[in-house]
Amino acid sequence: MQEAAHVATNAVHHVGGDVVHAVAAAAHNVHEAVVHQAEASSHSITHMMMHLIIQLAVIIVVAKIGGYLFQRFLKMPSVLGELASGMLIGPYALGGMIDIPNLGILFAESHGFAATPQLYGIATLASIILLFLAGLETDLAAFIRYSVVGSFVGLGGLFAAFVLGDLCAVFWPGNGIDSFMDPAALFLGVISVATSVGITARILAEKQKMASPEGVTILAGAVFDDVFGIVTLAIVMGMAKVSLGGGEVNWGEIGIIAAKAIGFFVVVTALGLIFSRKITAMIKKFKSTEIIVSICFGLALLLAGLAEMAGLAMIIGAYIMGLALSRTDLAHEIEHHMEGVYNLLVPIFFCVMGMMVDFAAMKPVLIFGSVYSLLAIVSKVVGCGLPAYAMKFNLRGSLRIGLGMLPRGEVALIVAGIGLASGIIDQGIFGVSIMMTVVTTMLAPPLLVKSFEGGSGLRKEMDGGGEDVEVIELAFPSRDITEFLLNRFVRALQAEEFFVHHLHTEQPTYRVLKDDIAFTLVQDGGKLIINVPQANQHVARMILLEELLSLTDLLESTKQMKDLDEMGSDLMSGLFA
């Protein structure tokens, strides 16, 4: 009996030892598997980041060179060069052929999309920056002052462009779009709407027509066009999501979506304008411009995210945040400090948009793209020109306004990118959008310049042809002195509560507005040029005279300084002390 018990005890110990050993071995294997998986995951993340960094390096260099070449030699906007660069290095061209050892294809498709999620995320951030600064630079004073003529011109262009763009998609055979309410058709309508005012503003500044009736109307109309376009995008996004979700959009739902989009825009914008000064007053307590600008941009990102959560596009929230801050005294500082980020990231966005163009997918839709581009031109010339003609402009002036509203640009590309990323439009339709953007952007500058040859754009019964513009030119010994005086003049105008709007052009150009006063400042090398209506020229002359007198006092005070040669000698001697 005792022997049997002993045998049983030994058996239990043996089995128990085997179980413990098995459990320990299993635990060891699990540990090894976890470690191996963690190492593999770490390697995968590191490899993805390495790939992203190399992609960004190529994109930045190629986009900048492409933009420079187009601007320098072809006299075209740099955005076209950045787009062309993206088409060249994208996965459907050279980028899909370049196979780098230990890296793989440089720009390969990712799950059927032309860019990896990481790269597209950076492009999305760039689009938010772009629309945030667009809102920040929106001339709210002109928006309010020219609300009547601007709203008619903007609404006319929006209605014509949207309807013709949508109907072009519906009636073109073989593209699978058979309804006006089809999400792809709606997106083609929205893409056709947005005007790129930066290109037009540059031409008006170079032709010294910013203060002309046509120039002011174009800029005011473009502001309304942007706002209406953003609201229309919000409505279409809501309708598209309902359709893609399997639901059927009826007019009641359209009304709800429109009310939601317009309500979000109006309420958030109103709250932003009301509380923006209080918010900026709180932020200013940090006493650091870098912190202030960072917080403001953080708020733009927050509002962009909230807009997306509300079923709208992120760029809408970014634009609203910029618009809310546009009337604060921080607007100029935010623009100035974000200029470097803008110049770095925005070309990446345009290049990535170019990378998404699938040339093979575009072949079947080239004729469709040509017709769509032609209708995009007609819609703006007629849609904006007719309201202008009804508002006392003659045929020449109406044509100028229509051509000034013609170029599409960054907003059209952003909308097209949103449509492609969300699956609402395919590669072919996206290519058509790029084609229309390029065509309108290339045609607008020469046509607009040509249209300003000739007489007044106003009807004769209007004060004999409109208000004359006084051109004041001041020549200085050097570009540095001119720039110094221009900056002093801008600060003096801001101190007098003028709204000074810096335009992104090759030459330093500022649009100045206050109540019924509007004029333009341009630095052309060593010359300072002021384009001002004769009725307001005394205001510009008076402020400029005050600054010149102040400069005279400054020069007199420098005479009391120690001799500059003596200062130089003191500094030089200190080097070898």
Task: Looking at the structure, tell me whether residues 134 and 67 fall in a common domain.
Answer: no
Q: What is the mean pLDDT of the chain?
A: 80
Residue 384: the pLDDT is 93
Spatial CA neighbour of 480 closest among 540, 522, 523, 531: 523
Helices (H) and strands (E) in the chain, counts: 20, 7
Overall number of domains in the chain: 3
Tens digit of pLDDT for each residue in 390-447? Answer: 887 889 889 999 998 998 867 788 888 888 888 888 888 888 998 998 888 778 878 8
Tell me the mean pLDDT in the region 279-299: 90
Residues 413 and 515 in one domain: no
Q: Which domain holds residue 504?
A: 470-558
Say yes or no to pLDDT of 17 above 70: no
Q: What is the band of 302 on the pLDDT scale with cuts at 50, 70, 90? A: very high
Same domain, 81 and 36: yes
Domain contains 428:
yes
- Among 416, 451, 486, identify where a domain stops: 451
Does 138 or 406 have the greater pLDDT score?
406
- Distance of alpha carbon 61 from alpha carbon 158, whole angstroms: 36
Q: What is the pLDDT of residue 121?
A: 92
Within a domain: residue 370? yes
Is 155 found in the same domain as 78? no
Out of 27-41, 172-186, 194-208, 559-573, the most confident range is 172-186
DSSP state of 76: -
Q: What is the mean pLDDT of residues 229-257?
A: 74
The pTM of the full predicted model, rounded to 2 decimals, is: 0.68
Predicted confidence at residue 139, as pLDDT, reads 66
Residue 117 domain flag: no
Cβ pair 141, 219 in contact under 8 A: no
The answer to whether residues 144 and 245 belong to one domain is yes
pLDDT for 454: 77
Same domain, 420 and 287: yes
418 and 509 inside one domain = no
The confidence band for 462, taking pLDDT boundaries of 50, 70 and 90, is very low
Domain-located, residue 458: no
Kindly calculate the radius of gyration of the chain based on its CA atoms and give it in whole angstroms. 30
Higher pLDDT: 138 or 4? It is 138
Do 139 and 73 reside in the same domain of the chain? Answer: no
Q: Is residue 461 part of a domain?
A: no
Is residue 422 within 8 A of residue 240, CB to CB? The reply is yes
Lowest mean pLDDT among 33-37, 90-94, 313-317, 406-410: 33-37
CA atoms within 13 A on the CB side of 543: 23
76: in domain = yes
Least-confidence region, from 17-31, 40-54, 123-137, 172-186: 17-31
Which of 451, 481, 515 represents a domain boundary (last residue)? 451
Q: Which residues lie across from 509 on neighbouring strands?
A: 503, 522
Which is it for the CA torsion 299, 302, 304, 307, positive or negative?
negative
Q: Which of 197 and 380 is assigned the larger pLDDT?
A: 380
Report the pLDDT averaged over residues 38-66: 84
Last residue of a domain, one of 420, 451, 482: 451
Which pLDDT does position 564 carry in this prediction?
66
CATH number, domain of 520, equals: 3.30.310.10
Whether residue 568 lies inside any domain: the answer is no
Least confident of 301-305, 456-460, 512-516: 512-516
Q: Are 247 and 176 in the same domain?
A: yes
Residue with tokens 């056709």: 192
Residue 409 lies in a domain: yes
Same domain, 148 and 295: yes
Whether 131 and 193 map to the same domain: the answer is: yes
- Give the residue-averaged pLDDT of 109-120: 83
pLDDT value at residue 463: 44
Domain identity same for 438 and 504 = no
Work out the percent of the chain whose per-residue pLDDT is above 90.
19
Q: Domain of 228: which CATH number?
A: 1.20.1530.20
